[in-house]
């Protein structure tokens, strides 16, 4: 069995911001010895193993990497429990699971990233968390500390970039937009990212699934950007944008767009709100009827959903893949939140609108 003592020493030493010289002085060895350990040229003398383990407050087994398999199994269970909790908006359980995982594995960056995520979501005002504002203030410093630690020390590029983006957003949300922007600017350009550049290095078998996955991600980026555009233009122009979103969806899904998605419900409802502002009431009602249908389908979706289109291939999505800060069923969110907005007052007392609300009970 390969021992990873050198890699573990190097990681723990850097996490604690200790130089090789300082570490060597603590152990009474030369700096060259520490360097040779960390570069896997040799191992520390056996009598130093318990001293090093005690210094880093870990077991000798963990220092030597003997319990890696057991750790991975335990970490995977924590991550699965976290995903199950966030898929139904149980943010307090997310925090509990993440804290328990970090307490057991304090240097596992996947768990540290989940803890940062859970604390961040606890301050999300778009869900049904009553004390979201207090949470944003309460967890502010911890979110920043976790984010900065992950960015500085995490060897996993994907986790590091997730934490970078989340930390930047958190700074913007808490009134530190200049700091958030400076962090955002450290992220790579979309033109230089892995997905768009690695195609040339792929085998022939890898190219088709990779290209379809890239189309899926590009579709989501474009769709989200169009959504953001609807908030920046007039109602008349927003209606045109919604029509473009519909065309894009039909292009990607070949006129067979799944109606069991959260986005399908939201799209139809917000498009209807725009149509009401333009006095296109009959069209608005049709969109709301589809929104209701989508919400009910989403709440009753199976544990695993498969969809296929020529451009995307087969896409598989588990029920627990959905992540939310709101523990309510989608039809309840639609009824009590989105349809309660003042823009619907113009049709609120019509028989058609009342029938829509009745379906959502």
Residue 26 structure tokens: 């603590």
Q: Domain check: are 220 and 163 in the same one?
A: no
Q: What is the CATH number of the domain that holds 100?
A: 1.25.40.10
- Polymer length in residues for the chain: 361
Q: What is the CATH number of the domain that holds 24?
A: 1.10.260.40
Please count the structural domains in the chain. 3
| Distance of alpha carbon 59 from alpha carbon 57, whole angstroms | 7
Per-residue pLDDT tens for 219-268?
Answer: 999 999 999 999 999 999 999 999 999 999 999 988 777 778 899 999 99
Q: Domain check: are 266 and 339 in the same one?
A: yes
DSSP character for 122?
Answer: T
Look at 49-63, 97-111, 187-201, 219-233 and tell me which has the smallest mean pLDDT: 49-63
Residue 137 domain flag: yes
Q: Domain check: are 81 and 43 in the same one?
A: no
Q: Domain check: are 104 and 225 in the same one?
A: no
Please state the pTM of the whole predicted model: 0.81
Q: Domain check: are 219 and 79 in the same one?
A: no
Average pLDDT in the 99-106 region? 91
Q: Domain check: are 150 and 230 in the same one?
A: no
Residue 124 domain flag: yes
Name, in order, each residue with C-beta under 8 angstroms of 346's C-beta and a sequence gap of 6 or more.
Answer: 276, 279, 281
Q: Domain check: are 131 and 40 in the same one?
A: no
* More confident call, 40 vs 87: 87
Q: Domain check: are 45 and 133 in the same one?
A: no
SS3 of residue 202 by DSSP:
coil
Average pLDDT in the 87-116 region? 95
Q: Domain check: are 156 and 235 in the same one?
A: no
Residue 178 structure tokens: 């200049």
Confidence of residue 305 (pLDDT cuts 50, 70, 90): confident
Q: Domain check: are 134 and 57 in the same one?
A: no
- Domain span holding position 98: 69-187
Residue 22 domain flag: yes
Q: Domain check: are 214 and 354 in the same one?
A: yes
Q: Domain check: are 60 and 97 in the same one?
A: no
DSSP character for 232?
Answer: T
Given this model, what pLDDT does residue 1 score? 42
């Amino acid at each position: 069995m390969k021992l990873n003592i050198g890699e573990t020493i190097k990681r723990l030493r850097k996490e604690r911001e200790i130089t090789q010289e300082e570490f060597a002085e603590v152990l009474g060895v030369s700096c060259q010895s520490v360097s040779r350990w960390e570069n896997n040229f040799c191992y520390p003398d056996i009598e130093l193993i318990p001293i090093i383990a005690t210094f880093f407050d870990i077991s000798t087994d963990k220092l030597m990497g003997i319990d890696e398999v057991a750790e991975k199994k335990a970490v995977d269970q924590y991550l699965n429990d976290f995903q199950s909790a966030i898929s139904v908006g149980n943010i307090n359980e997310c925090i509990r699971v993440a804290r328990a995982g970090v307490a057991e594995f304090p240097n596992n960056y996947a768990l540290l990233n989940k803890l940062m995520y859970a604390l961040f979501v606890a301050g999300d005002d778009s869900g049904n968390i009553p004390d979201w504002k207090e949470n944003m203030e309460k967890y502010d410093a911890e979110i920043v500390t976790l984010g900065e630690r992950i960015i500085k020390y995490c060897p996993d590029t994907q986790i590091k970039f997730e934490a970078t983006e989340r930390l930047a957003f958190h700074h913007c949300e808490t009134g530190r937009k200049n700091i958030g922007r400076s962090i955002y600017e450290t992220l790579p350009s979309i033109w230089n990212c892995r997905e768009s550049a690695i195609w040339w290095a792929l085998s022939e078998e890898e190219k088709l699934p990779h290209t379809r996955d890239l189309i899926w991600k590009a579709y989501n980026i474009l769709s989200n950007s169009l959504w953001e555009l609807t908030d920046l233009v007039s109602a008349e122009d927003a209606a045109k944008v919604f029509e473009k979103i519909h065309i894009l969806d039909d292009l990607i899904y070949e006129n067979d767009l799944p109606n069991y998605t959260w986005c399908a419900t939201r799209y139809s409802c917000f498009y209807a709100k725009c149509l009401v502002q333009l006095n296109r009431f009959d069209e608005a009602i049709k969109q709301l009827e589809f929104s209701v249908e989508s919400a009910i389908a989403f709440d009753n979706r199976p544990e695993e959903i498969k969809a296929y289109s020529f451009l995307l291939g087969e896409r598989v999505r588990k029920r627990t893949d959905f992540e939310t800060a709101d523990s309510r069923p989608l039809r309840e969110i639609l009824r009590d939140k989105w349809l309660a907005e003042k823009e619907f007052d113009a049709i609120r007392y019509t028989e058609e609108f009342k029938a829509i609300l009745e379906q959502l009970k």
